[in-house]
Structure 1
Amino acid sequence: MLNFPFKLSVLLLVLFAPGFVNQEDLPVNTKNGGLFLPDGFEAVVVVDSLEGRARQIAVNDNGDIYVKARFADKKESVIALRDTNQDGRADIIKRFGGKKREIGYGTAMRIYNGYLYFSSELVVYRYKLTPGELVPKSKQEIILTDDHKHGMHEHIAKPLAFDNAGNMYVPFGAPSNACEELFRMPNSTGMTPCPFLEDHGGVWRFDANKTRQTQKDGYKFATGIRSVVAMDWNKSDNNLYLLQHGRDDLLRLWATVYSPWQSAVLPSEEFLRIKDGTNAGWPYCYYDQIQQKKVVGPEYGGDGIKTGDCDKYEKPLMGFPGHWAPNDLLFYQGNQFPDHYKNGAFIAFHGSTNRAPYPQSGYFIGFVPFQNGNPSG
């Protein structure tokens, strides 16, 4: 079996490695699965026929791959893949787990302390993994349920991260674009204080081994964070990191303040180091990666330049262009890649839908090198 040391979220599942296959033996249009890769890297398509779209993946120590499917229709939403002849392609494909009524997002898949954790929009599940078994024989456990009366809303993804002390981190995204009084209506004033921040717009910490929890069983770890899908624990410096999806529709909602180009590239998708008590400033402020500062949101009297008291909020390590939609984050702990990649961050962007009339972008996987706990490139 393949001993593959990291995962990335893509629709065509591929393995990346230096010199993995002999690309010279492949037709030009099938080299690297059609992907563009850095020099020295090659890729092989693991599977290209999964029903339900691959959303998140996790790779076990023995090379088994677990996929959380999206739009899986009436089938179970976890897909297990195994390569038995070491040709790089999955020749065993099995489905199990999840709830059929919650299959639209599928925004987490993690292996932690011998358990396979995954989530739907409203529930975090886990299975105990047994060495050598592809499909767990253990009973599916419910670790966390989002029991808010609102049920489903936007920004309801439940990505997961785990620290070294038995804690699980789960964001509860804000059911709003910018906490405006009139939802996504032009020139609407923002609410002060934003009522959503009481139990949304932040990250909560839970016991990773306790079943049947709800949000009230957790601890509010950070706030001022609009929407998160990409999140991971960095073992090299023992900190939580995530990427925030910035707000939408600057032009449509504030046409007298922003140009089409500003609306396409702003606000930043913020790459944040999160500590206990962090406040990233949503909805009152957003990060402008061009000016390299946080500015006041237009719902709160901002004009794209005013900083007000935004300096008091957490500044990102870096800001990616707006609407790239970071979909997963992984700190690389493997030994297969060159030393430059050790402890660095792979970020999978699923691509934009909010940059018109300019071309959409962000359909790639990026890498941010780290040194001494900070980005170094």
Structure 2
Amino acid sequence: MILFQSFSTFFRTRISSLKLVLALIIILVYSCSKISTTLPKASADNGGLFLPDDFEALVVVDSIGKARHLVVNDNGDIYVKLTYNRAMNGSGGTVALRDINKDGRADSIVYFGDYKDVGSSAVGVTIHNGYLYTSTVNQVLRNKLSPGKLVPDSKTEVILTDLDPNVAKNWHTTKPLAFDKKGFMYVPFGSPSDAGQDMTKYGPTGIPGGKGLDPSPERINHAGIWRFDANKTGQTQKDGYKFATGIRSVVGMAWNNADDHLYAVMNGIDNFRTIYPDLYTAWQAAVLPSEPLLKVTEGSDFGWPYAYYDQLQKKNVLQPGYGGDGKIIGRAAHFDVPAIGFPGHWAPMDVLFYQGDQFPERYKSGAFVAFHGSTDRSPYPQAGYIICFVPFENGKPNGKMEVFADGFTGVDTVVNTSDAVYRPMGLSTGPDGSLYISESNKGKIWRVMYKGDKHRFGQAQLAKMELRKERSYIKTPDVVKDNLQRGDRLAGSILYTTYCANCHQSNGKGDDSRFPPLAGSDWVTGDKTRLINAILNGLEGEIKVNGQTWQGLMPAHSNILDDHAIASISTYLRQSFGNKASAVSTLEVSKIRSKTKP
């Protein structure tokens, strides 16, 4: 009996101990999911970035040179591909970074690489099966990494050489890499022209209204993605297999382990307004064509140069050089449709499928995309310059785009590309699940970390990022309000002296008899349409200015002044002689002229 009681007491004690241990494990797991004590302290103000709630950013390094893509090794070492290392006569275009004191910042910075870059669009650095792969414009190289060593000391192997004699002149020839699970390496070969016109006669941008070559000779050795043996050295393009075609220019690719497929982000046709001025307005040329995320399968064809994807209509349409007008579909219906279409000219540079355990689970179902930002959206604000996240549902993008990281531009409106302080470029995941971002202006690298409760992350934490979609470099621009081509006040003052001062006087006060004052005039600072129409088409009869009646005759100027000249005079009048009113855009004048043409 005593023995039984002792055993029973012992058993109950062990059960209580197990319950206590289990409770401690649950508390520990919950605490770990809520906040990681191993993550370093973030930079003040997140290094200038705006992120969803509970995300923080640390500046790992700054000003290492014009950084392109980057990759983080399993031990936390970072490797960055530079555009070009001028300090080393073009060689040493890779940078290795190591955090020695474990504060999250790079303490050891070493430039290396026994290769020389030709051209300025070199991208591509990744780690696969213990090798560091580096891409130049015309080669894919690799070095075996040694445990514990920051800089590889192994012999450089040449995996692939692009033998195209004009490779350095092709702006779109970048060679980012992706690897599948079967031992294959995927490499894009970008097409040198914008829209498939005859480059031997007209150059890469073609001529206004020019037709595209049909069939396009560029689709033979360009405008596609080739598959190669990942372990074979000394390959050229002829050793590869054309995996997909109709893809103009790819700077970022990734293999998605979730669905075991290749994905790429494509840069679309530039210069729509220049090449097809009779078909596309400045606004259409600013927002089109889409620069999409492609799910690339064997044999897929995305239509370049015969077609392009229109994200506004959500369909492929025929390219004007092949008979299109922005609406005709024609043979465009036979080409593959992108996974999702981003706005035109945002310049997607990298795509990443998150596989870490630090971020909330939702980020494992979707893709991060880095946008370098546009250069040819004028007269509208330049756009892009963000990191976005595209959620996937049932293995496909749900059609929505979330702003994940913003603040790179440093300004509210990017009028010229050089206005942007930073331009996002590369993406990589660290061994602890942090997301690393590189930018190409100065060579700054951020480490984005999540320090919240992974189980409670949702729309509330994303709300403030949704508001950032109203930024001028993210939203779809308003046709009139966002047109930056305003009248030039200096030009307006010269034109005013030439065409207006004889009647309205150089001080804008009129002659107190036949010609009303412009200074302090509600007629000038009020309705823009009324003022523009008067300068364009003239004015005759009775009008009231500041409560006084005037009777006179003003001649039309539509036949001697273009839209920008009239916008400049109007802007000068509304912002001179003590007047303080908004400027007049060329587009506003164009609209009124088109409505009043005889």
Q: TM-score scaled by structure 1?
A: 0.91
Letter of the 2:171 counterpart = E
Letter of the 1:334 counterpart = G
CA shift in 2, pair 1:101/1:69, >3 Å: closer
The corresponding residue for 2:112 is 96
Is 1:36 aligned to 2:50, yes or no?
yes
- Tell me the secondary structure at the aligned position of residue 241 of structure 1: strand
RMSD (Å) for aligned C-alpha atoms: 1.6
Q: Which has the higher strand share?
A: 1
User: How far apart are the structure 2 equivalents of 1:327 and 1:81?
Assistant: 22
- Tell me the secondary structure at the aligned position of residue 333 of structure 2: helix
User: How far apart are the structure 2 equivalents of 1:39 and 1:21?
Assistant: 17
Give 2:74's match in structure 1, choosing from 58, 61, 66. 61
CA shift in 2, pair 1:18/1:70, >3 Å: farther
User: How far apart are the structure 1 equivalents of 2:80 and 2:36?
Assistant: 24
Give 1:161's match in structure 2, choosing from 178, 182, 185. 178
Is 1:134 aligned to 2:150, yes or no?
yes
Q: CA deviation at 1:18?
A: 8.2
CA shift in 2, pair 1:142/1:343, >3 Å: farther
The corresponding residue for 2:541 is none
> Is the 1:18–1:42 contact (alpha carbons within 8 Å) kept by the matching residues of 2?
no
> Is the 1:53–1:69 contact (alpha carbons within 8 Å) kept by the matching residues of 2?
yes
Letter of the 2:186 counterpart = Y
Is 1:280 aligned to 2:302, yes or no?
yes
- Any runs of at least 4 consecutive aligned residues in structure 1 with deviations exceeding 3 A, and if so which? 17-23
> Is the 1:18–1:337 contact (alpha carbons within 8 Å) kept by the matching residues of 2?
no
Taking the TM superposition and a 5 Å limit, the aligned residue runs for 1:1-377 are 20=39, 22=41, 30-50=44-64, 52-73=65-86, 74=89, 75-102=91-118, 104-152=120-168, 153-181=170-198, 182-183=202-203, 184-376=206-398, 377=400
- Tell me the secondary structure at the aligned position of residue 359 of structure 2: coil
> Is the 1:158–1:171 contact (alpha carbons within 8 Å) kept by the matching residues of 2?
yes
> Is the 1:69–1:78 contact (alpha carbons within 8 Å) kept by the matching residues of 2?
yes
CA shift in 2, pair 1:229/1:284, >3 Å: same
Letter of the 1:49 counterpart = S
> Is the 1:223–1:279 contact (alpha carbons within 8 Å) kept by the matching residues of 2?
yes
Number of residue equivalences: 355
Q: Which deviates more, 89-98 or 185-194?
A: 89-98
CA shift in 2, pair 1:143/1:42, >3 Å: same
Letter of the 1:165 counterpart = K
User: How far apart are the structure 2 equivalents of 1:109 and 1:305?
Assistant: 40
User: How far apart are the structure 2 equivalents of 1:18 and 1:102?
Assistant: 44
Q: CA deviation at 1:100?
A: 2.6
Q: Which deviates more, 317-326 or 90-99?
A: 90-99
User: How far apart are the structure 1 equivalents of 2:161 and 2:41?
Assistant: 47
Q: CA deviation at 1:225?
A: 0.5
The corresponding residue for 1:3 is none
Percent identity of equivalent pairs? 55
User: How far apart are the structure 2 equivalents of 1:309 and 1:98?
Assistant: 47
Q: CA deviation at 1:372?
A: 3.5
Deviations 1:221-265 (CA, angstroms, capped at 9, x unpaired): 000100000111111111000011110111111111111110000
Q: CA deviation at 1:98?
A: 4.6
Deviations 1:116-173 (CA, angstroms, capped at 9, x unpaired): 1110100101111122211112111111000112232221111110001111000000
Letter of the 1:147 counterpart = L
- Tell me the secondary structure at the aligned position of residue 253 of structure 2: strand
